[in-house]
Structure 1
Amino acid sequence: MSRLILFNKPYGVLSQFTDRGTESARSTLSDYITVPGVYPAGRLDRDSEGLLLLTDDGRLQARIADPRYKMAKTYLVQVEGAVSEEALNALRAGVTLKDGPTRPAQAEPAADPDLWPRDPPVRYRKSVPDCWLRLTIREGRNRQVRRMTAAVGHPTLRLVRESIGEWSLNDLQPGEWREVTV
């Protein structure tokens, strides 16, 4: 039977078990997960938070991470500025990045979510408003969500992945994980 672990990756943690080639050790998955033989199915940038799936099943790992399977990944995204319908429509149509056009995304305004505090906190500027979006993509290029929101004029301030396919964070707090049956 395959193992699948749902992990709420905290801000500042690498999506790998070791940190090679740096002078100062950074936090990795091994600081939180001691289950042998599991590996991340996909990645989540060091400065992003939220759901990361780990499994010991190579086929399941491919089905989750490989863009050809088009598994939905949903993010709560705090962006700079008030997002217009025009910007949302651009995300919904797909935007052109340096590495080519993205697939269309589901994009909608989101209410201010009841999330855990981030350490360090997101910078706050009185003169620049911010808002939250819920963005669902079906591919996973490097820093894609951040690049997409920047392409429509709204840099990302905070990024939290809330679900991948049928799996979601639910009540997992940062640094917590649970194993589910596949």
Structure 2
Amino acid sequence: MSKILLLHKPFQVLSCFTDTEGRQTLADFIQTPNIYAAGRLDYDSEGLLLLTDEGALQHRLANPAFKLPKTYWVQVEGEISSEALQALRQGVMLKDGPTRPAKARAIPAPPLAERNPPIRQRAHIKTSWLELVITEGRNRQVRRMTAAVGFPTLRLVRYAIGPWTLANLAVGEQRWQDVHLPETSTQKAKSSRRLKTGKRAPVKR
């Protein structure tokens, strides 16, 4: 059975194991050899990162074609408006094209540990939190989306990828978990042919 490693990546940690500039990397938290991140999380973002030692599983988890929803908790400057939330739900125009419709809702401040260092906040401007669920993986997409509707991101935490979440995982902590992903349409077709013929489907070379 396949397994993945769930890591609660801290702020200002690179989603790789080496760096020439002396910044913190995954090597400061993970000692398991031959393991790789399935997707990335920006240096200035926090939250859930999935890792595996299986190449095919890494590709599937990271590939946007499989549309694993990613849930983010986002602290923005200003009190998020219903109009902004509706715009996010419909999809917003970015420089690289329109986004897919997202799930967006205002939420109370989530039970997160204080960020180190804390966010830079202007005393006379309030902040608010929203939950944003997307199925894309563009560069700095969430930050660009909130900016496009007039609410710059101050703090960004990825809470979930598909069925996996940060629940009971403190900053910097990790745990192994079994993987039970549904079959793709191709896998289902191969399984169906094996059942009908009693033989394995031929492998194309």
Q: TM-score range by the shorter chain?
A: over 0.9
Give the letter for the 1:32 counterpart. Answer: F
Q: Give the equivalent residue in structure 2 for 1:29.
A: 26
1:106, 1:63 → 2: CA distance? 23
Between the aligned partners of 2:59 and 2:90, the Cα distance in structure 1 is 27
Bigger radius of gyration, 1 or 2? 2
In structure 1, distance between residues paired with 2:34 and 2:165:
22
Equivalent residues of 1:78, 1:133 under 8 A apart: yes
Q: 2:113 aligns with which of 113, 116, 125?
A: 116
Q: Greater relative contact order: 1 or 2 (C-alpha under 8 angstroms, separation 6 or more)?
A: 1
CA distance in 2: counterparts of 1:176 and 1:100, whole angstroms? 36
Q: CA deviation at 1:55?
A: 0.6
Q: 2: distance between equivalents of 1:100 and 1:93?
A: 14
Is residue 40–residue 61 contact of structure 1 (8 Å, CA) maintained in 2?
Answer: yes
Give the counterpart of 1:175 among 151, 172, 177.
172
Residue of structure 2 equivalent to 1:7: 7
Matches of 2:89 and 2:60, distance apart in 1: 24
Give the secondary structure class of the aligned counterpart of 1:62.
Answer: helix
**CA positional deviation for 1:82:** 1.1
TM-score by length of 2: 0.85
Counting matched residue pairs gives 179
Identity %: 61
2:101 matched to which residue of 1? 104
The residue matched to 1:86 in structure 2 has which SS? helix
- Measured on the aligned residues, the alpha-carbon RMSD in Å equals 0.9
Q: Contact 1:72–1:165 at 8 Å: present in 2 too?
A: yes
Q: Is the 8 A contact 1:10 1:50 kept in 2?
A: yes
Structure 1 counterpart SS, 2:18: coil
One-letter code aligned to 1:27 = Q
- Secondary structure class of the residue paired with 2:104: strand
After TM superposition, the structure 1 = structure 2 runs for residues 1-182 of structure 1, keeping only pairs within 5 Å, are 1-20=1-20, 22=21, 25-182=22-179
Query: Partner amino acid for 1:28?
Result: T
- Please say if residues 15 and 46 of structure 1, whose CA atoms lie closer than 8 Å, have aligned partners that are also in contact: yes
Where has structure 1 moved over 3 Å in runs of 4 or more? none
The letter for the 2-side match of 1:5 is L
Q: Take 1:63 and 1:85, find their aligned partners in 2: how far apart are those partners?
A: 35
Aligned residue identity for 1:81: G
8 Å CA contact retained: 1:2, 1:56: no
SS in 2 for 1:61: helix
CA drift of 1:62 comes to 1.7
Tell me the secondary structure at the aligned position of residue 56 of structure 2.
helix
* Superposed CA offset, 1:14-37 (max 9, x none): 0001113x3xx0000000001111
Contact 1:63/1:69, CA 8 A, preserved across alignment: yes
Larger helix proportion of the pair: 2
